[in-house]
Structure 1
Amino acid sequence: MKLKVAFAASIVVLLPACATPQANQRAIAITVDDLPLHGPTPHGETAVSVAEGVISALTAEHVPAYGFINGHWTVDDPATAPVLTMWRAAGLPLANHGWSHRHLSEMTPVEFEQELVRNEPLLQAGSEDWHWFRYPFLDEGETAEKRAAARDVLARHGYKIASVTADFSDWAWTGPYQRCKDAGDTAAISKLEELYMQAARESIGYHRNLSQTVYGREIPYVLLLHVSPFEARILPRLLKLYREEGFRFATLEEVEADPAYHDQIDPKLSAEPQGLDHKAAAKQALPPRTDFQSVLDGMCKG
C-alpha cells in the first residue's frame, strides 16, 4: 500500500491460528498491482523475468490473482508489454489501475475518467471480467466531493472497486532490494527477507484484529501485493505462510461478495470509510504497527 499512515513502532501480537474447521475456511484473495512492472529492477532483471517469477509462484500453488495494470508502461517501455500476455496465458485476469498511476487527489474528475478509459483497450484484449478498479496509492480523493465524483465515474463505466483489507506495504522492499542486489550484499538481502516475512506475519494478526473490531467477525480478506523483483523472489514463502496460518486462496469475486465489501463493490452506493484501517480509525480503535520503512530506507545506501 502506498498510502502512508503513521504508526508507532510496536510489535503486533498474532492471533493464534487454530487447526479448526473455521480456521481452515479463512479466505484471502491475492491482488497484484502495477503490472507490467513495479520497479526499479536490479541489473540483469527485466519486467518479463520478474513476471515469470511471480506467475510461476502463483500457478505452482494454484492461486487465483488479479493483476492491476498501468498501461503507460507499454508505451514508455514496450519491452514490458509481453507481461500482460504472459499473465493472461497463465489463466490470471487483469483489471484497471489507471493509465499512469496518478493520485486521484492530484486530478480533476475529468482527468480521472481519462486515466480510467485510456487503460481499457489493453484490458479489452482479454475475455476476463476486467471491470475492477484499484485506486493508485489507494487514494480515493482528498475530499468527500472528489471521492463521490470518482465513484460516479466508475459507476457510469460499469466498474467495481477492488478494496484492500490486508497489506503490509510490500512495495517498500522494492528499492532496498534493487540497491542490495546490485551491491552484491547477500547478508542485507537475507535481512530484507527476514523483515518481509516478519511484516507479513504481523499483518495477519493485525488485520484479523481489525476485522473483529470493525465487524465483530473475521471477514475474507483482499491482500495487496506488487509485481516487483523482490516479490518474485519471496512470493513462494509468503504463500506458504498464509497456508500455514489456515488461509485458503479465493477469487476476488468470491471475497468481495461478502457484505463487508458492499459499499466498495458497487460505487453507486454511498461510500463508507475506506478499508479496515480507516473504518477502525473512525471507531478510534486503530492499534499500532511496527515501522519497517525507516529501517528499509537506510539499507544498502552508500
Structure 2
Amino acid sequence: MNTLRMGRILFASAAVLAACISAHSQQIAFTWDDVPAHSALPPGETRVEIGRKLIDAMKAEHMTGVYGFVNGVATEREPASEPVMKDWRAAAFPLGNHAWSHMNLNTAALADWEADVLKNEPILEKYAAGSDWHWLRYPFLAEGNTPEKRDEARKFLAEHHYRIAAVTMSFGDYMWNEPYARCVAKNDTAAIAQLETTYLDAASQDAGFRRAMAKALFSHDIPYVLLMHVGAFDARMLPRLLKLYREKGFSFVTLEEAEKDPFYKTSLDPSLPEQPDTLEGALQAKGLPLPPRPKMTVDVNGICR
C-alpha cells in the first residue's frame, strides 16, 4: 500500500471517529418553566427585570431556540409580569405550553387538564404567533397517575399537534428561589453566598448523575434537556451556571436539536406507544441499577427562616 493511499485511509478513519465523538458529545438544551412568573419576588426586583437578566445571560452565550413554557394565569395574578413574554420573543426565543394554571394531571380530572392546556393557547397565539409553540411541558412533570390517563393525555396531545418537552436533567433549581427572596429581605449576604455555593454544587453533581445514567444505558451521552425555572435566584446565578456547564465540556443546543436523539422518539410523537421519557424510567425498564443519587448537604429551605 503506497503512502498516499495509507494517508487517505487514516484521514477517513479520523473523520469517522471525530463524527462519532461529535454525535455523542455533551450537549444541553436549556428550557425554562413558569414564564412569566415563578416563586417569590425579592424586594426591589420585578418579573420583567428577572426575565431580562435571563435573556441577557443566554444571549451573551449566543444561545438560540431556548423555550420558555408559559402559565397564562400569572398574567392575572401579576399583570406586570406579562411583558416578560414580549421580551422573550423579542430575543428570538420561542414559547411553549405549560398549561394555564400549572394543573397537575396526576390529581386533576383528565377533561379539566385538557381544558387547562387549551385555555393557555390564546396567550401563546398572542405572543408566539408565527413560531412553533406546540410544545407541551407537563406541569409538575405529571403525565397521569394511571396508564389509561397517560394514554388519553398523549392521544389528546397528538390530536392537537403537540410535542412533549421531556426532561433528562434537573437539579431542583426552583428550591433556591424562595430562600433567596427571604435572604434579600433580611440583607443576609453570608446566607446568599451559601445559597450560591450549594446551587452550583447541586448542578455539578446532578450533571454527573445524569451522565452516569446515560452511560449505563447507552455507553455514551445523549443530548440532555435541562429543566429550569424563571426565578430571581436563577437569574442571579445563570452566568455562573452557564460557565460551569461550559467548563464541564457541555455545549448548548436547542430543544428541537436535543430531541432528535432516538431516546426522545415518543416525546416527539405522542401518538406512538409510550416509552420511558426519563433516564431513571429507562433504567428501571431495563432492570438496571440507579447510580447513587446526589444528596443535598444543606437544607436550603431552612436558610433565612
Rounded Cα–Cα distance in structure 2 between residues aligned with 1:274 and 1:90: 30
Rounded Cα–Cα distance in structure 2 between residues aligned with 1:202 and 1:168: 8
Corresponding residue for residue 7 of structure 1 = none
Using structure 2 for the length normalisation, give the TM-score. Answer: 0.89
Match of 2:172 among 151, 166, 169: 169
Using structure 1 for the length normalisation, give the TM-score. Answer: 0.90
Written as runs of structure 1 = structure 2, the 5 A alignment for 1:1-302 is 22=21, 25-64=25-64, 65-125=66-126, 126=128, 127-282=130-285, 283-292=287-296, 295-301=299-305
Whether the 8 Å contact between 1:172 and 1:293 is mirrored in structure 2 is: no
Aligned-pair distance for 1:294? 6.0
**SS, match of residue 205 in structure 2:** helix
Between structures 1 and 2, the one with greater helix share: 2
Aligned-pair distance for 1:288? 2.6
Corresponding residue for residue 12 of structure 1 = none
Q: Which amino acid aligns with 1:98?
A: A
**SS, match of residue 181 in structure 1:** helix
Q: Which amino acid aligns with 1:221?
A: Y
Please list the CA deviations of residues 227-257 of structure 1 after superposition, one character each: whole Å capped at 9, or x if unmatched. 0000000000111111111111111111101
Whether the 8 Å contact between 2:263 and 2:277 is mirrored in structure 1 is: no
Rounded Cα–Cα distance in structure 1 between residues aligned with 2:248 and 2:49: 29
Q: What runs of 5+ residues in structure 2 fail to find an aligned partner?
A: 1-17
Q: Which amino acid aligns with 1:103?
A: N
Please list the CA deviations of residues 66-122 of structure 1 after superposition, one character each: whole Å capped at 9, or x if unmatched. 000000011222111111001000111000001001110122221111111111111
Rounded Cα–Cα distance in structure 1 between residues aligned with 2:152 and 2:274: 11
**SS, match of residue 67 in structure 1:** strand
Q: Which amino acid aligns with 1:107?
A: A
Whether the 8 Å contact between 2:264 and 2:277 is mirrored in structure 1 is: no
Bigger mean CA offset, 275-284 vs 203-212: 275-284
Rounded Cα–Cα distance in structure 1 between residues aligned with 2:116 and 2:297: 29
**SS, match of residue 106 in structure 1:** coil
Larger radius of gyration between Structure 1 and Structure 2:
2
Whether the 8 Å contact between 2:169 and 2:226 is mirrored in structure 1 is: yes
Aligned-pair distance for 1:291? 3.0
Aligned-pair distance for 1:164? 0.5
Corresponding residue for residue 6 of structure 2 = none
Please list the CA deviations of residues 205-235 of structure 1 after superposition, one character each: whole Å capped at 9, or x if unmatched. 1111111122332111101100000000000
**SS, match of residue 28 in structure 1:** strand
**SS, match of residue 87 in structure 2:** helix
Rounded Cα–Cα distance in structure 2 between residues aligned with 1:281 and 1:197: 28
Rounded Cα–Cα distance in structure 1 between residues aligned with 2:80 and 2:140: 25
Question: Relative contact order (C-alpha < 8 Å, sep 6+): which is higher?
Answer: 1
How many residue pairs were aligned? Answer: 282
Q: Which amino acid aligns with 1:151?
A: R
Rounded Cα–Cα distance in structure 1 between residues aligned with 2:168 and 2:297: 20
Aligned-pair distance for 1:273? 2.3
**SS, match of residue 112 in structure 1:** helix
Rounded Cα–Cα distance in structure 1 between residues aligned with 2:77 and 2:173: 24
The 1:67–1:159 alpha-carbon spacing in structure 2 relative to 1, beyond 3 Å, is same
Bigger mean CA offset, 51-60 vs 286-295: 286-295
Rounded Cα–Cα distance in structure 1 between residues aligned with 2:162 and 2:81: 26
